[in-house]
Chain A
C-alpha cells in the first residue's frame, strides 16, 4: 500500500471529517481534521490500517492557536494527524480510550502547553515539579526563562 492508495481510502472512508490529506514525503501523510472528529478519525485509522502505534503527540505554539499533532504509524507509513485548538480555550479530547499508551504524552501537553485534555484518566503533572507555579507553561512561545544575574565574587 503506497501513499496515494492510503490517501484515497482516507478521503473516501472519512469524507467530510478530513479537511486535508496530503503526502508530505515518502511514507509520510499529513492529515488535518477538526478536533471534534479526532477520535472518529483515529478509530478509523486504527481499524482500517492497523495504526495502533502512537509514537508521540507534538504540540506547537502558533500564536493565536495551538497545533497538536498525533504521529501514528504502522509498518509501511506514518500518518501525522493534526488538529487546531484556540489559545483562549485550549481543549483537546483524550485519546486514551483508543490508545492507552498516549497517557504520558497527554500529561506532557498539559504541563508544557497548558492544554486541557478532556476525560484524561490521570491528570497529574508529568515532568514539572510539584511546586511549579500555576499558569506557567514553559513551551509556550511567550514564556521566557529569566536567569538571575550571576555575581562573581571578587570579580569586577
Chain B
C-alpha cells in the first residue's frame, strides 16, 4: 500500500519554505518530488533595472548566509567586463572575508546537523563558537551578516594591525574547539551511528546530477572552483581540496570539518602575507557591451553568475545559479529508499538555502485560492484589523505566582 505525504512548505523539520511530496511504502520513501517557488523574489528581473553599483547590494540580499559569495561572484565578473585590475590588498581582504564566511557557514551547518541527529549539545557548542566568527566579521565590516565589503576595484574597508592581532587570537580559540569537535564526532558512536549510511549518493550519480560543493566532494569527486578555476588570490594561497568517499551524511560532515581547518590555515596565511598598498582602485560607471561567466566556490558549492552588459550602467541580463538549486536533483536521489525519519537529516546535509535558490510579490489566499497583489499599507491595515480582533484580556491576566 502506497501513501502520498506532503511535507511543507511550512514544516517544523524544514527551516525555510519548500514543499516535498513523497510516495511512501510504510516508512520507506519510494519517490520524492520537490516544489519550489515559495520565496521567489524576482531578483534577476530587478537587477536589469538597477545600476551595477546598486546590484552589488541587491545580489548581497540573495542570501543571508553566503551574502559575500554572491557579491564577490558578481563583482569579479563586472570587474572583468570593465577590464579593471582590482587592488591586490583589496583582493586579499575579499578572500579573508570569504574564508571567514565559510567558517561561519560550516559551523552553522555542523550545529544544524547535530540538532537533526539528536545531538543538541553539539548544536549549542558550535553556535556559541559561530559567535566568535561573527564578532570578527563585525570588527572588520561593522556587520554580522551583510558585510557590504565588496566594491568594484577592491573592498570598502581596510584592516589595521590591531584588528589583525585580534583575529589571530580568536582564531586560536576556534582552532582548539574545532579539534575538540573532530575528536568528539569521531569517537561518539551514537553520532556516527546516526549519520553513517544515511542519504547515499554514489560518485556516478553525483556527477550525472551535477551536484556541487561538499555534497559532491563527499562522494569522492575533488571538484573545487578555488582549485580548478582560481579567482581572487586563491592561486597564491596554499590549501587542499577536502574529499570523503563514504558518500553519506557522515562524509559530508567530515568534509566540512576538514574544510574548517583548511579555512583557518588560509585566514592565517592571508593575515601574515597581507600586501601593503591601496585597498581599492577607481572604477568606471559604464561598462562596454560584453558578457562574462563568473564562478565562485561558496560554502555550499559552486555559485555561478552570468552577466551580459550593453554599454550602459545597467546589466542587460544577470543570471544567478545558487548552489542549493544544483543540489536538488541529487537530494531527490538521496531521499529515495531512505526513511521518513532521515528526511530532515538528508535535507539539512546539502545545507539548503531556499531563498538563495529562488530569486514577485504575490499573495495567495489559501482558502479561496485567489491571488492578489497588496500594497504595504494594505498589509499594515490588515495586520491592525487582525490584532484588534484578538482578545486583549489575556494580555492583562495576572502572573500566576
Q: Taking the complex as formed, is B277 at the interface, i.e. its CB lies under 8 A from any CB of chain A? A: no
Q: Taking the complex as formed, is B208 at the interface, i.e. its CB lies under 8 A from any CB of chain A? A: yes
- CA A151 to CA B377, docked complex, whole Å: 7
Q: Taking the complex as formed, is A17 at the interface, i.e. its CB lies under 8 A from any CB of chain B? A: no
B229 touches A55 (CB 8 A): no
A127-B358, A131-B369 known; A53 vs B210 contact (CB < 8 Å): yes
Nearest B residue to A146 via CB reads B373
Q: Taking the complex as formed, is A28 at the interface, i.e. its CB lies under 8 A from any CB of chain B? A: yes
B228 touches A99 (CB 8 A): no
Q: Taking the complex as formed, is A25 at the interface, i.e. its CB lies under 8 A from any CB of chain B? A: yes
A150 touches B377 (CB 8 A): yes
A138 touches B329 (CB 8 A): no
Identify which of residues 196-236 in chain B touch chain A, using a CB-to-CB cut-off of 8 Å: 207-211, 223, 228-229
Q: Taking the complex as formed, is B40 at the interface, i.e. its CB lies under 8 A from any CB of chain A? A: yes
B304 touches A52 (CB 8 A): no
How many A-B residue pairs lie within 8 Å, measured between CB atoms? 100
Interface residues on A, range: 35 or more
B308 touches A128 (CB 8 A): no
- CB-CB < 8 A to A24: which residues of B? 291
Q: Taking the complex as formed, is A3 at the interface, i.e. its CB lies under 8 A from any CB of chain B? A: no
A78-B293, A150-B376 known; A52 vs B207 contact (CB < 8 Å): yes
Interface of B is mostly: mixed
Closest Cβ of chain B: how far from A20's Cβ, in Å? 14
Q: Taking the complex as formed, is A135 at the interface, i.e. its CB lies under 8 A from any CB of chain B? A: no
A99-B210, A104-B329 known; A55 vs B373 contact (CB < 8 Å): no
Q: Taking the complex as formed, is B375 at the interface, i.e. its CB lies under 8 A from any CB of chain A? A: yes
- CA A104 to CA B360, docked complex, whole Å: 20
B328 touches A104 (CB 8 A): yes
Q: Taking the complex as formed, is A56 at the interface, i.e. its CB lies under 8 A from any CB of chain B? A: yes
Q: Taking the complex as formed, is B45 at the interface, i.e. its CB lies under 8 A from any CB of chain A? A: yes
B304 touches A55 (CB 8 A): yes
A58 touches B317 (CB 8 A): yes
Q: Taking the complex as formed, is B371 at the interface, i.e. its CB lies under 8 A from any CB of chain A? A: yes
Closest Cβ of chain B: how far from A151's Cβ, in Å? 7
B329 touches A139 (CB 8 A): no
Q: Interface on A for B, CB 8 Å cutoff? A: 24-25, 27-28, 52-56, 58-61, 69, 71, 73, 75-76, 78, 80, 99-105, 112, 125-129, 131, 138-139, 145, 147-148, 150-153
Q: Interface on B for A, CB 8 Å cutoff? A: 36-37, 40, 42, 44-45, 80, 207-211, 223, 228-229, 291-293, 295, 302, 304, 306, 308, 316-317, 319, 321, 325-326, 328-330, 358, 360, 362, 364, 369-371, 373, 375-377, 381
Can you add 16 more A-B contacts, CB < 8 Å, to A101-B208, A102-B210, A128-B40? A52-B207, A52-B208, A54-B210, A56-B304, A60-B317, A78-B293, A78-B295, A80-B293, A99-B208, A101-B210, A104-B325, A105-B321, A112-B44, A129-B371, A131-B370, A147-B373
* 23 A-B contact pairs sorted by A residue (CB < 8 Å): A58-B317, A60-B308, A60-B316, A71-B293, A73-B229, A76-B228, A78-B293, A78-B295, A101-B211, A105-B321, A126-B36, A127-B37, A128-B37, A131-B371, A138-B360, A139-B44, A145-B42, A145-B45, A147-B373, A150-B376, A150-B377, A152-B377, A153-B377
